[in-house]
């Protein structure tokens, strides 16, 4: 999803979180909750390209290292997010493409070097990578990004192959939003992955972002969609779940929110291939939702004071 969200990863069936690096460093109660409650974490913005290489050839690994090092100290596994996206790219890259100073051949080398450098840095410390993020548009066509425009559709296969070469053991994922219900996107993503795997491209998993709102119907066929991808031999993961509501918060809205969270986890647990369950922000204190959806919020499991909501209890008691 666009913006600067925060992820919380729940590897099924045990809960786990993702990390706001600034909060990790400066908020002791946030850090304590993170390390007390969870067994897996997802890097949020810390591993995105604009964060790790804001100037060409100048890498800034401190934030990503902080996530990985904290996880290691507390016995948490790590999910890497993400390697190739059309958003949150460094200005030197997008401007170079736009003004023609970076051509297609050079862009391909830059992409290869970015993937190889980042994946090798964390080799053996990342369980799974979101290799390509949001590459299918809402109508089922490939998203028109600088990658598609300049390199053609083969950039997707290249990205997976480069990631596999850099860390042969990490699981490699396609990650996208609205896969829970959008038929054109579902069918196009299935077709893309079938085609890639027929070429021997190492695609290991599919990530469902899962940004929901209680003002909309719950995507009731979601578990069956997961099974369709699992039938291809893929791992499945819920990678960015949150459930927003139109403010103000009421007990009734919190109950509906809890039901949505519970249905999502129950669906994941009903599919043996579903390996992770990730919530995008575990506290409303740092949620991305209010900044992107006017008048909406309260999307996370804990409120701004880190008090658990009904959804928190629902997840801990959910069964297939």
Instruction: Report percent pLDDT > 90 for the chain.
Output: 90
Average pLDDT over residues 47-63: 98
pLDDT at 120 over 70: yes
Inter-CA distances, 3 with 6, 52, 88, 89, 302, Å: 10, 16, 8, 12, 21
14 pLDDT tier (thresholds 50, 70, 90):
low
Residues 150/192, Cβ–Cβ less than 8 Å: no
**Number of other CB atoms surrounding residue 307 within 10 Å:** 10
Average pLDDT over residues 76-86: 96
Write down the pLDDT at residue 7: 47
Write down the pLDDT at residue 319: 78
Selecting among 27, 240, 252, 296, the annotated active-site residue is: 240
Average pLDDT over residues 174-190: 98
Tell me, yes or no, if 118 is annotated catalytic.
no
Write down the pLDDT at residue 40: 87
Question: Cα angle vertex 252, ends 249, 257, to 5°?
Answer: 75
pLDDT at 15 over 60: no
pLDDT at 33 over 70: yes
Inter-CA distances, 163 with 48, 54, 83, 118, 129, Å: 15, 21, 9, 9, 9
34 pLDDT tier (thresholds 50, 70, 90):
very high
Please give the structure tokens belonging to residue 56.
């060409």
pLDDT at 5 over 90: no
Domain range 8-317, CATH class: alpha beta
Please give the structure tokens belonging to residue 312.
């928190």
pLDDT at 44 over 90: no
Nearest partner of 143 among 175, 181, 106, 111, judged by Cα: 175
pLDDT in tens, 298-315: 999 999 999 999 999 999
Output the pTM of the full model.
0.95
Which residue's entry shows tokens 């950039």? 155
144 pLDDT tier (thresholds 50, 70, 90):
very high
Q: Where are the domains of the chain?
A: 8-317
Q: What is the DSSP letter of 285?
A: G
């Amino acid at each position: 999803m666009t913006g600067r969200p925060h992820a919380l990863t729940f590897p099924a069936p045990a809960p786990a979180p993702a990390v706001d690096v600034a909060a990790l460093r400066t908020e002791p109660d946030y850090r304590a909750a993170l390390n007390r409650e969870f067994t897996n974490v997802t890097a949020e913005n810390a591993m995105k390209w604009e964060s790790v290489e804001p100037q060409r050839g100048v890498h800034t690994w401190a934030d990503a290292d902080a996530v990985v090092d904290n996880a290691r100290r507390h016995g948490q596994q790590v999910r890497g997010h993400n390697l190739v996206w059309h958003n949150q790219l460094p200005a030197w890259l997008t401007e170079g493409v736009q003004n023609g100073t970076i051509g297609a051949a050079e862009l391909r080398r830059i992409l290869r070097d970015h993937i190889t450098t980042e994946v090798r840095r964390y080799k053996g410390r990342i369980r799974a990578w979101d290799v390509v993020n949001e590459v299918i548009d809402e109508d089922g066509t490939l998203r028109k990004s600088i990658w598609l425009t300049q390199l053609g559709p083969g950039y997707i296969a290249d990205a997976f192959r480069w990631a596999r070469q850099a860390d042969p053991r990490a699981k490699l994922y396609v990650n996208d939003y609205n896969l829970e219900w959008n038929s054109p996107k579902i069918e196009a993503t299935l077709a893309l992955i079938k085609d890639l795997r027929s070429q021997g491209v190492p695609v290991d998993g599919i990530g469902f972002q899962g940004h929901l709102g209680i003002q909309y119907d719950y995507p009731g066929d979601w578990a069956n969609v997961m099974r369709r991808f699992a039938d291809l031999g893929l791992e499945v993961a819920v990678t960015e779940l949150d459930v927003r509501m139109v403010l103000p918060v009421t007990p009734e809205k919190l109950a509906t929110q809890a039901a949505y969270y519970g249905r999502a986890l129950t669906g994941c647990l009903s599919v043996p291939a579903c390996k992770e369950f990730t919530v995008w922000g575990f506290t409303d204190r740092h949620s991305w939702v209010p900044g992107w959806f006017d008048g909406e919020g309260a999307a996370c499991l804990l409120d701004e004071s880190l008090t658990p909501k009904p959804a928190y209890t629902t997840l801990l008691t959910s069964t297939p």
